């Protein structure tokens, strides 16, 4: 196995548990190293530090898999996948959840979502791509799924020199998959839906509507397949309107509302334009949910993305009646909690409203955050009362 050596004094962050080695922290990369190849990471004195996979063309040169000199084989992956599964079972996640959360479960570059008896798999790095057949074998051993779907259609794969693709690689899939979350049923389009079809990361945050929704007219922006909307309706909102720009999403959301016997109105519209129209019409709501897709895909887009977040939040605040609740989120990992909070302060000022923070939440527990790697905490969910 090839080795890479850290420069002097560049091992502290790695020894403290961070799973990434950056290219400028290495003395050199072997000339014949292939993207995704397993390597041992040594400190400047030649002592073993970790084992991971290398991409000589990436800023993140090595992603660490283990701190032991152990084989990275099917037994290794099965053990990690079993450990991840056992945690979800212990935490009471039922039969649908995020089964593997990349670095948070010690498997960088791998995302697995379990939709009842179907697994949706994303491999986002060259290293994980080289191990993919072994990973699929391990997943089959642990879960015995009816189908495994590859959702390798993320832009991040291109940065690793990988092609985008989505397909059923094992078993068969006939149409949407039916799942249950927090007592609600959903049809999920695993093959064509956004990301892998559903957003498990907001599971526990949606339950916070229990004490916010009763008796309130509710607007759910970027509603996708209706998960926030359905929870608001279930918890006693007087009226629920969901808006999304995708007709496919709103059609599926309407089917999900019907599936649960809930009255929700879904509209296909551009959220930015719809918020402006609602403001002109002097509409008012007691609860608003803003859960947009990631506006910031890279550090270079942070300023532009913050403008988008501010725009929807200030307009949302203007639409809330005094004492109304705003549940507002960002899944852009380039925007940390401090930046997100500053944006909300600016939005409240521009809206001419006073905002009080009741709670700042993050991703669900099936998306565990690696304590030594702040990058694994990406979701911000602020619950505000707007005076």
Residue 387, pLDDT > 90, answer yes
Tell me, rounded to whole angstroms, the distance of Cα 351 from its chain centroid.
29
187-207 pLDDT tens trace: 999 999 988 999 999 999 999
pLDDT for residue 328: 98
CATH of the domain at 281: 3.40.50.150
The percent of residues in the chain predicted with pLDDT above 70, rounded, is: 100
Active site residues: 331
The percent of residues in the chain predicted with pLDDT above 90, rounded, is: 89
Q: Of 110, 183, 181, 117, which is closest to residue 152 (Cα–Cα)?
A: 110
323-375 pLDDT tens trace: 999 999 999 888 999 999 999 999 999 999 999 999 999 999 999 999 999 99
275-287 pLDDT tens trace: 999 999 999 999 9
Residue 176, pLDDT > 80, answer yes
Q: Are residues 306 and 376 in the same domain?
A: yes
Q: Are 81 and 138 in contact (CB under 8 A)?
A: yes
CATH of the domain at 55: 2.30.130.10
Q: Are residues 159 and 274 in the same domain?
A: no
Angle at 103 between CA 130 and CA 126, to 5 degrees: 20
28-60 pLDDT tens trace: 988 899 999 999 999 999 999 999 999 999 999
Specify if 241 maps to a domain.
yes
Average pLDDT score over the chain: 95
**Ramachandran area for residue 371 (φ above 0: left; ψ -120 to 50: alpha; else beta):** alpha
95-130 pLDDT tens trace: 999 999 999 999 999 999 999 999 999 999 999 999
Specify if 304 maps to a domain.
yes
Going by pLDDT thresholds of 50, 70 and 90, the confidence category of residue 257 is very high
Residue 301, pLDDT > 90, answer no
Specify if 368 maps to a domain.
yes
- Give the range of the structural domain holding residue 12, as residue numbers without chain letter: 2-66
pLDDT for residue 295: 80
pTM above 0.75, yes or no: yes
Specify if 286 maps to a domain.
yes
Specify if 188 maps to a domain.
no
pLDDT for residue 302: 84
Q: Are residues 258 and 327 in the same domain?
A: yes
Going by pLDDT thresholds of 50, 70 and 90, the confidence category of residue 158 is confident
CATH of the domain at 119: 3.30.750.80
pLDDT for residue 333: 84
Q: Are residues 223 and 159 in the same domain?
A: no
Q: Are residues 15 and 150 in the same domain?
A: no
pLDDT for residue 40: 97
Mean pLDDT to the nearest integer, 20-28:
96
Specify if 184 maps to a domain.
no
Sorted by sequence, the CB contacts under 8 Å of residue 171 that are 6+ apart come out as: 118, 145, 146, 147, 148
Q: Are residues 256 and 161 in the same domain?
A: no
- Kindly report the three-state secondary structure assignment for every residue of the chain: CEEEEECCCCCHHHHCCCCEEEHHHECCCCCCCCCCEEEEEECCCCCEEEEEEECCCCCEEEEEEECCCCCCCHHHHHHHHHHHHHHHHHCCCCCEEEEEEHHHHCCCCEEEEEECCEEEEEECCHHHHHCHHHHHHHHHHHHCCCEEEEEECCCHHHHCCCCCEEEEEEECCCCCEEEEECCEEEEECCCCCCCCCCCHHHHHHHHHHHHCCCCCEEEEECCCCCHHHHHHHHCCCCEEEEEECCHHHHHHHHHHHHHCCCCCEEEECCHHHHHHHHHHCCCCEEEEEECCCCCCCCHHHHHHHHHHHHHHHHHHHHHEEEEEEEEEEECCCCCCHHHHHHHHHHHHHHHCCCEEEEEEECCCCCCCCCCCCHHHCCCEEEEEEEC
- If one counts every other C-beta atom within 10 angstroms of the C-beta of residue 6, the result is 23
- If one counts every other C-beta atom within 10 angstroms of the C-beta of residue 56, the result is 18
127-146 pLDDT tens trace: 999 999 999 999 999 999 99
Q: How many structural domains comprise the chain?
A: 3
Q: Are residues 292 and 382 in the same domain?
A: yes
Q: Are residues 166 and 135 in the same domain?
A: yes
Q: Are residues 251 and 361 in the same domain?
A: yes
pLDDT for residue 160: 86
Q: Which of 24, 40, 66 is the last residue of a domain?
A: 66
pLDDT for residue 161: 85
Specify if 88 maps to a domain.
yes
């Amino acid at each position: 196995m090839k080795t890479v050596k850290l420069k002097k004094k560049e091992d502290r962050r790695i020894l403290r548990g961070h799973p990434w080695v950056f290219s400028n922290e290495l003395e050199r990369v072997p000339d014949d190293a292939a993207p995704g190849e397993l390597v041992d990471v040594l400190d400047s004195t030649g002592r073993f530090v970790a084992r991971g996979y290398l991409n000589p063309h990436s800023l993140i040169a090595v992603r660490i898999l283990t701190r032991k000199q152990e084989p990275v084989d099917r037994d290794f992956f099965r053990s990690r996948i079993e450990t991840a599964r056992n945690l979800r079972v212990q935490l009471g996640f039922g039969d649908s959840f995020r089964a593997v959360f990349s670095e948070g479960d010690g498997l960088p570059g791998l995302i697995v979502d379990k939709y009842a008896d179907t697994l949706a798999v994303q491999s986002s790095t060259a290293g994980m791509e080289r191990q993919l057949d072994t990973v699929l074998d391990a997943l089959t051993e642990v879960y015995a799924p009816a189908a495994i779907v590859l959702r390798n259609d993320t832009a991040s794969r291109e940065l690793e020199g990988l092609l985008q693709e989505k397909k059923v690689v094992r078993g068969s899939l006939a149409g949407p998959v039916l799942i249950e979350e927090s007592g609600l049923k959903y049809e999920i389009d695993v093959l064509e839906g956004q990301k892998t079809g559903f957003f498990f990361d907001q599971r526990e945050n949606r339950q916070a509507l229990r004490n916010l929704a009763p008796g309130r007219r509710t607007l759910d922006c970027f509603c996708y397949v209706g998960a926030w909307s359905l929870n608001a309706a279930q918890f006693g909102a007087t009226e629920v309107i969901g808006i999304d720009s995708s007709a496919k999403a709103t059609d599926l959301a309407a089917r999900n509302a019907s599936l649960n016997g809930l009255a929700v109105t879904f509209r296909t519209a551009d959220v930015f334009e719809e918020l402006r129209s609602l403001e002109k019409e002097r509409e008012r709501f007691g609860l608003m949910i803003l859960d947009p897709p990631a506006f910031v895909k890279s550090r270079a887009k942070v300023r532009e993305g913050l403008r988008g977040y501010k725009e929807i939040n200030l307009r949302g605040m203007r639409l809330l009646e005094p004492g109304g609740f705003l549940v507002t989120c960002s899944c852009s990992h380039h925007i940390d909690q401090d930046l997100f909070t500053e944006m909300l302060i600016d939005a409240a000022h521009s809206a001419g409203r006073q905002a009080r923070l009741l709670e700042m939440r993050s991703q669900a527990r099936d998306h565990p955050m690696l304590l030594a790697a702040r990058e694994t905490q990406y979701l911000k969910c602020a619950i505000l009362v707007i005076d």
